[in-house]
Amino acid sequence: MSKEFKKRVLTSILLLLIAILCIVINKIIFISAIFIIFSICFYEWNNINTPYFFIKKKKKRFLLIQLAGLSYLFIFLASSIYIYNSIGIIFFIYVLLVCVSSDIGGYIFGKAIGGKKLTKISPNKTISGSVGSFIFSIIPLLLFNFKNYQDVNLSLKQTLFCLVISLSCQLGDLIISYFKRLNKVKDTGNILPGHGGFLDRVDGIIFAIPVACILKVVQIF
C-alpha cells in the first residue's frame, strides 16, 4: 500500500468523521460547516481560475466563470440545507458514504489495473478507475442493508441511485480537473495531505449532493 494511498484513505476517513459529527450534533453546527465549505471552495475556485482568465486579460470571461462557480456553490448549499431539514440526516450521511466509496474505488481500481485513459481532461483517470468507482459506490447500500443481509433484496432503484451519485461525483471531478488543466495547476490548494486543496477533495460531493436532492424530491429513485 503506497504512502499516497494511505494519506488519501486517512484524509477521507477523517473528513467523513468530521462531516458526520457536524451533521449529527445540531443544525447550527451543520449550517456553519456548510458555509465554511462554501467559502473555502469559492476561494480555491477563484485561485485556480485567476492565472488563465484574469491575468491573461479575459476579465469578462473570468467574471462569468466566477459567477457560474458561485451560483453552483449556492445550489450545493441550498440542497444540503434542504436535505438536512426535509429529507433527513441519515440520507445525507448515506450520500456522503456513496461519494467517499466511489472515490476510493476509483483510486484502487485505477492504480491496481490502470489501462486505457478515460479522457484527456484528466490524464490520471482511467476506464478501470471509473468502473471501480461504480462498483464501490454500491458498498454503502450493502452496509445499510447489513442487518437483513440474509434476506437482502437490493432493488434496481436503490442500485441505480448509487450509480447515478457515483456518476455525478466523477463528472464533478472531471469538471474541476478541466479547469485545473486549463490553468496549468496540479491542485486547487495544499491544505489536505494526499489531496491538495479542499476543492480537490469535495469536487465530487458538491455535485452529488444537489443531484441526490433532485432525485429524492422528484422521486425518480
Of the candidates 199, 180, 189, the one whose C-alpha atom is nearest the C-alpha of residue 42 is: 199
pTM: 0.85
195 touches 11 (CB < 8 A) = yes
pLDDT of residue 57: 63
Q: Which residues of the chain have pLDDT under 50?
A: 148-153
pLDDT of residue 152: 43
pLDDT of residue 83: 94
Q: What is the DSSP string of the chain?
A: --HHHHHHHHHHHHHHHHHHHHHHH-HHHHHHHHHHHHHHHHHHHHHHHIIIIITTT-HHHHHHHHHHHHHHHHHHHHHHHHIIIII-HHHHHHHHHHHHHHHHHHHHHHHHT--SBS-SS-TT-BHHHHHHHHHHTTHHHHHHTGGGGGG----HHHHHHHHHHHHHHHHHHHHHHHHHHHTT-S-S-SSBTTTBSHHHHHHHHHHHHHHHHHHHHTT--
pLDDT of residue 219: 80
pLDDT of residue 215: 92
99 touches 169 (CB < 8 A) = yes
pLDDT of residue 199: 86
pLDDT of residue 4: 66
The three cell numbers locating residue 133: 468507482
pLDDT of residue 195: 59
pLDDT of residue 209: 95
pLDDT of residue 151: 41
The three cell numbers locating residue 126: 482511467
Identify the burial level of 111 via C-beta atoms within 10 angstroms of its C-beta, where 0-12 means exposed, 13-18 middle and 19 or more buried: middle
Non-local (6+) Cβ contacts of 120 within 8 A are none
Of the candidates 50, 103, 45, the one whose C-alpha atom is nearest the C-alpha of residue 73 is: 45
